Amino acid sequence: MDWKLFFSTFALVFLAELGDKTQLTVLAQSAVHGRLAVCLAACLALCASTLLAVLFGGLLSRYVPPRVLHLLSGALFILFGLLLIVPALKNPT
């Protein structure tokens, strides 16, 4: 196993998930409902979505060169950021 890749991926996903909608939802659910059930459900949901991303990424890598994947993922990241920022700038209420 490539431990450098393992730990860099762990750190990246861990930091990206801090304070996002999913974490806030889990926080709210666990304040009201059983913590074990909420924790297990959230862990399984994250594992399932990660598995789909890994499988889809593996499939894409067979047909799309890595440079194109990097450019597309960067462009999508910027696009999604703009889709969140532009409406907020139009309606600053």
Q: Residue 80 and residue 93: Cα distance in Å, rounded? A: 21
Our count of domains for the chain comes to 1
Could you list the residue range(s) of the whole structural domain that residue 69 is in? 3-90
Average pLDDT over residues 42-54: 94
Please measure the distance between the N-terminal and C-terminal CA atoms of the chain and give it in whole angstroms: 49
45-83 as b/e: b if 16+ CB within 10 A: eeeeeeeeeeeeeeeeeeeeeeeeeeeeeeeeeeeeeee
| Total-model pTM | 0.68
* Residue 87 confidence (pLDDT) above 90: no
Do residues 70 and 54 lie in contact, with contact meaning Cβ atoms separated by under 8 Å?
A: no
